[in-house]
Amino acid sequence: KGVSKKYDNGVLALKDVNIKIDKGEFVFIVGESGAGKSTFIKTLLSFIKPLTGSITFGEGLDRNEIGYLPQQTLVQRDFPASVWEIVLSGCQARCGLRPYYNSAEKALAKRNIVKLGLEQLQERCYRDLSGGQQQRVLLARALCATQKLLILDEPVAGLDPKVTQELYNQIAQLNSEGITIVMVSHDLQAALQQATHILHIGQNVFFGTVQDYKTSALGKSFLVTEGGDR
Ligand code: ADP
């Protein structure tokens, strides 16, 4: 409610964002580069503190029950760990102060490896995988943290159209299984097809259903400039 964020360098990255996400929804966050999408996600995740406003979690959702797939940097793409280690590391929040993974956590990691079709790759080094495989690994990792809410920051960036579609299908499948999805994406076509709601961040902010977005002034102009309405 009323979330704004100003960085130390004076950049006002978010101005009065108001949204409400219900269980099972699929929210796409769109907007131009530098509009504040990642800032909003980091604020949602409590990684950074808003200047004004508040974020309230409803009953049945704890702050540490959110799965997060960050935007990947080049350094992260080069991470020298096995697929198994990376997926398992998604269980870290479940460990608390315990310095090892228990058998339930290992079983959970294994289930998510199977779910994302990564069995054949689990001994491989993450940095040797293709971009699409890496994103599937990170999705399996995020699923170890949650069965409730996944927050994904540009999960298809840099992937070719076929692999992008496969990843979208997998995300849609997770949503149909009841996991709430909040996803930053430049892909307006996908947003219009898959989302239940759109959050458009920029000079002006829109939050509402896909249908309302299509008929809003902001939605109409963005769809024309970004070519999402082909
Ligand atoms: P988007 O995800 O929509 O591309 P960001 O949330 O990354 O946008 O950035 C929003 C604005 O805040 C940009 O002007 C960016 O330069 C600025 N910004 C992002 N992170 C920081 C930071 N850590 N310190 C200062 N300015 C930042």
Residue 33 beta carbon below 6 angstroms from any ligand 1 atom: yes
Instruction: Kindly report the protein residue whose alpha carbon is nearest to atom 1 of ligand 1.
Output: 34
Q: 3-class DSSP state for residue 15? A: strand
Residue 39 beta carbon below 6 angstroms from any ligand 1 atom: yes
Q: For residue 75, what pLDDT is reported? A: 65
**Residue 189 CA to its chain's centroid (Å):** 17
As given in the structure block, the two tokens for residue 61 are 């959702």
For the chain of 230 residues, list the mean pLDDT of each consecutive stretch of 10.
Answer: 94 94 96 93 92 91 87 76 95 86 95 95 94 93 92 90 91 94 91 94 94 93 70
Q: For residue 51, what pLDDT is reported? A: 93
Q: How many Å apart are CA 49 and CA 44, to the nearest integer?
A: 9
> Hey, which bits of 122-225 come out as E strands?
149-153, 180-184, 197-200, 206-209
30, 185 in Cβ contact below 8 A?
yes
Q: For residue 230, what pLDDT is reported? A: 44
Ramachandran bin of 85, using left for φ above 0, alpha for ψ from -120 to 50, beta for the remaining angles? alpha
Test site for ligand 1: of 38, 73, 205, most ligand atoms within 8 A of the Cβ: 38
Spatial neighbors of 212 by CB under 8 A, at least 6 apart, are 219
Q: pTM for the whole thing? A: 0.90
